[in-house]
Amino acid sequence: MPLSSNKFPRVAYEADFCVVGGGMAGLVASIAAARHGARVVLMHDRPVLGGNASSECRIHICGADRHNQIPNMRETGILEEIRLENLHCNLNRNYSVWDMVLYDLAERTVNLTVLLNCSCIDATMDGDHIESISGWQTTSQTRHTVRARIFADCSGDSVLAPLTGAEYRMGREGRDETGETVAPEKADVATMGMTCLFQARDFGTPQTFKPPEWANIYTRDEDLPYGARGHNHGGWWGLGYWWVELGGTYHSIHDTERMRRDLLKITLGVWDHIKNQGDHDAENWGLEWLQFLPGKRESRRYIGDYVLTQQDIEAGGNFTDTIAYGGWSMDDHHPAGFEVVRIGAPPTIYHPAPSPYGIPYRSLYSRNVGNLMFAGRNVSVTHTALSSTRVMGTCISMGQAMGTAATIAVRHSLTPREVGDRVNELQQLLLLDDCYLPWIPLKLSPLTVDARLQASNGADPEPVRDEWNRPIGNDPHAWTARSGDSITYLFDTPSYVAEVKLLLDTAINRDLALSLHYKDHGMIHTPRETPRRFRIDVLKGGEWHKFRVVEGNYQRQVCVGIGEVVEGVRYTLNETHGAETSRVYGFYVR
């Protein structure tokens, strides 16, 4: 750019797939698509990735395992990889390091271009198809335009809806319309609100707090939701209070800045109450961080070919086109938010939901804009269903599915709707990428299925090539090894093996989430069960050859490229991160 230019620069991109919004859903969708070979541009309006999970908001990622209350139900695939990376390099649970983990993953992803600080503000259409979108990058005062085959809106607020004419809904459906028993009788425009959290820490020495003069003052415990029991212990002081919530009775997009001002008054008032209004045993606690960017729960929801409802969730969502799953309860926040104290209502009601329940592919693309997809809190679900699907583990599960579907669309020149005719292919790609889909079995390559399988320790090795990649019920669907144990595939005739894929033990029965809730919540290091060192050998000319020793592993899903004609392949466990035994959930050759 010449230094003398007085015009704003314009930069154009050609992509297969363009994603707007780099929250967890958009980030994971972009990575999934790029890994499957699509040229992807991700346009994101913040300096850090992760949306509500980033250091700007610090909300912990929950999902179908409900903080491990439902064992073996956490989302694997790309989310598992991110969490394991974080455990490996973020032992102090620092949110800037978490930002780095997400940024590093995007940087390392071939085929992915990330435009940060770039807010999507425009779109051009060709009939009912999006031709291009444009964004304004504040840091460089540059307009970026992306032409692509498929677009995805993962902005949470569905910015592409008003820009493209895609149908959407805002507010709560009426019971008279959907038959949802927890919906209000008649439809209204209320949503769940937004929140500003805080983070405090026990510094070990007395800490004073003087609130700004504009902060609210709460002298009595009853001034706060849940009364005294709601804020009287330090467990939440590292994370803040989700019930500092406003916006449900305002416009949850256009009134955001007004809500931010009011939320900061409340957040600081709550902290002042804890520190200065009565004894809360908080003398040594001091504020470390305040959330100046409100975290949002609900705004525009797109209308897709299918709108998921309360009844679908309660019935377990056993769809033929299940491509993701949820399991959080229907956690329906009162639109009055913090103001519930005035009307005596609970801030949220947890309506029961089964875990898992399936989410259909038809909820992830637009009914009326031909090449528009979505994932995250803006998908095609009712307000009541959203109160469950909105948790980020579920948003990520949808993101990986949607990004993978986009690559099928690009590869075969299909619209997102037409990909629905190949949903089996989509499901199998997701399962092979270590996602879990309830009730959908994995179909393995003939090379894997037809080979003879042996274990050195006499335990049955067959579960490593059964149809499931995690424990289900009482069946672990795994082979268990000690150091030195091995499993071997022998082929009847020498065969070309492109790659060996392993699904290893990362303690699927425990909680790996990054969280500031309670001091010892979640795990803070690589699970002890995970193999640190293992070996892959190949059988050639009747003799075993050492092919690869993998050192310093901390991941669940590991691929080892072979690229040779061999008579057999062997996995040997050498060392774990501390446990005596380690399971193998999958051992596949192709």
Ligand X SMILES: Cc1cc2nc3c(=O)[nH]c(=O)nc-3n(C[C@H](O)[C@H](O)[C@H](O)COP(=O)(O)OP(=O)(O)OC[C@H]3O[C@@H](n4cnc5c(N)ncnc54)[C@H](O)[C@@H]3O)c2cc1C
Q: Considering only residues 297-316, where is the footprint of ligand X by CB under 6 A?
A: 297
Q: Which tokens hold the place of 485? A: 């144990």
Q: Which of 55, 109, 119, 137 binds ligand X (CB under 6 A)?
A: 119
Taking the complex as a whole, the smallest distance from the CB of residue 159 to ligand X amounts, in Å, to 4
How far apart are the C-alpha atoms of 292 and 94, rounded to whole Å?
18
Residues binding ligand X: number (CB under 6 A): 37
Q: Which of 13, 60, 277, 509 binds ligand X (CB under 6 A)?
A: 60
How far apart are the C-alpha atoms of 459 and 452, rounded to whole Å?
15
How far apart are the C-alpha atoms of 285 and 233, rounded to whole Å?
11
How far apart are the C-alpha atoms of 437 and 400, rounded to whole Å?
12
Q: Which of 238, 295, 337, 522 binds ligand X (CB under 6 A)?
A: 295
| Residue whose C-alpha is closest to residue 76's, from 426, 504, 464, 480 | 504
Residue 553 CA: distances (Å) to CA of 104, 437, 471, 581: 18, 26, 22, 16
Contact between 21 and ligand X per CB under 6 A: yes
Q: Considering only residues 382-401, where is the footprint of ligand X by CB under 6 A?
A: 390-393, 395
Q: Which tokens hold the place of 154? A: 């993962």
Looking at the DSSP bridge assignments, the partners of residue 549 are 535
Q: Which contiguous run of DSSP H or E holds residue 425?
A: helix 423-432
Q: Which of 100, 116, 120, 410 binds ligand X (CB under 6 A)?
A: 120
Taking the complex as a whole, the smallest distance from the CB of residue 199 to ligand X amounts, in Å, to 13
Taking the complex as a whole, the smallest distance from the CB of residue 410 to ligand X amounts, in Å, to 21
Taking the complex as a whole, the smallest distance from the CB of residue 393 to ligand X amounts, in Å, to 6
Tell me whether residue 26 or residue 461 sits nearer to ligand X (CB atom).
Answer: 26
To the nearest 10°, the Cα dihedral for 135, 140, 142, 144? -40
Choices 11-19, 150-158, 260-268, 332-340; region in contact with ligand X by CB under 6 A: 150-158
Choices 24-32, 79-87, 142-150, 573-581; region in contact with ligand X by CB under 6 A: 24-32
Contact between 68 and ligand X per CB under 6 A: no
Q: Which of 16, 18, 23, 326 binds ligand X (CB under 6 A)?
A: 23
| Residue whose C-alpha is closest to residue 142's, from 34, 290, 11 | 11
Taking the complex as a whole, the smallest distance from the CB of residue 320 to ligand X amounts, in Å, to 25
Query: What residues contact residue 565 under an 8 Å CB cut-off, 6+ apart?
Result: 494, 495, 496, 497
Contact between 52 and ligand X per CB under 6 A: yes
User: In 3-state terms, what secondary structure has residue 398?
Assistant: helix
Q: Which of 234, 247, 376, 463 binds ligand X (CB under 6 A)?
A: 376
Q: Which tokens hold the place of 480? A: 């268990």
Burial profile 506-533: b = 16 or more Cβ within 10 angstroms, e = fewer: bbbbebbbbbbeeeebbbeebbebbbbb
Taking the complex as a whole, the smallest distance from the CB of residue 420 to ligand X amounts, in Å, to 22
Amino acid in position 568: G
Choices 52-60, 401-409, 428-436, 451-459; region in contact with ligand X by CB under 6 A: 52-60
| Residue whose C-alpha is closest to residue 320's, from 360, 276, 278 | 360
* Binding-residue pattern over the window 129 to 148 for ligand X, x denoting contact by CB under 6 A: ------x-------------
Choices 87-95, 211-219, 294-302, 304-312; region in contact with ligand X by CB under 6 A: 294-302
Taking the complex as a whole, the smallest distance from the CB of residue 44 to ligand X amounts, in Å, to 5
Instruction: Please count the other Cβ atoms lying within 10 Å of the Cβ belonging to residue 540.
Output: 15
Taking the complex as a whole, the smallest distance from the CB of residue 296 to ligand X amounts, in Å, to 6
Tell me whether residue 242 or residue 518 sits nearer to ligand X (CB atom).
Answer: 242
Q: Which contiguous run of DSSP H or E holds residue 79?
A: helix 78-89
Tell me whether residue 48 or residue 437 sits nearer to ligand X (CB atom).
Answer: 48
Taking the complex as a whole, the smallest distance from the CB of residue 264 to ligand X amounts, in Å, to 14
Taking the complex as a whole, the smallest distance from the CB of residue 243 to ligand X amounts, in Å, to 9
Report phi then psi at 318, rounded to 5: -85, 75
Choices 44-52, 68-76, 203-211, 484-492; region in contact with ligand X by CB under 6 A: 44-52
Contact between 74 and ligand X per CB under 6 A: no
Tell me whether residue 356 or residue 393 sits nearer to ligand X (CB atom).
Answer: 393
Q: Considering only residues 155-214, where is the footprint of ligand X by CB under 6 A?
A: 155-157, 159, 194-195
Tell me whether residue 67 or residue 528 sits nearer to ligand X (CB atom).
Answer: 67
How far apart are the C-alpha atoms of 71 and 61, rounded to whole Å?
16
Q: What is the DSSP letter of 324?
A: E
Contact between residue 65 and residue 355 where contact means Cβ atoms under 8 Å apart: yes
Tell me whether residue 323 or residue 432 sits nearer to ligand X (CB atom).
Answer: 323
Burial class (CB in 10 A: 0-12, 13-18, 19+), 36: buried
Q: Which tokens hold the place of 275? A: 């520190």
Q: Which of 24, 364, 401, 414 binds ligand X (CB under 6 A)?
A: 24
Contact between residue 315 and residue 328 where contact means Cβ atoms under 8 Å apart: no
Taking the complex as a whole, the smallest distance from the CB of residue 275 to ligand X amounts, in Å, to 21
Contact between 101 and ligand X per CB under 6 A: no
Choices 21-29, 74-82, 358-366, 531-539; region in contact with ligand X by CB under 6 A: 21-29
How far apart are the C-alpha atoms of 448 and 446, rounded to whole Å?
5
At residue 308's C-alpha, the angle toward residues 304 and 313, to 5°, is 160
At residue 300's C-alpha, the angle toward residues 298 and 305, to 5°, is 115
Contact between 66 and ligand X per CB under 6 A: no
Taking the complex as a whole, the smallest distance from the CB of residue 350 to ligand X amounts, in Å, to 13
Tell me whether residue 328 or residue 587 sits nearer to ligand X (CB atom).
Answer: 328
Helix 392-411 and helix 78-89, axial crossing angle in degrees, nearest 10: 120
Q: Considering only residues 231-270, where is the footprint of ligand X by CB under 6 A?
A: 242
Contact between 20 and ligand X per CB under 6 A: yes
Which residues of this protein are in contact with ligand X, per CB under 6 A?
Answer: 20-21, 23-26, 43-46, 51-52, 59-62, 119-120, 135, 154-157, 159, 194-195, 242, 295-297, 376-377, 390-393, 395
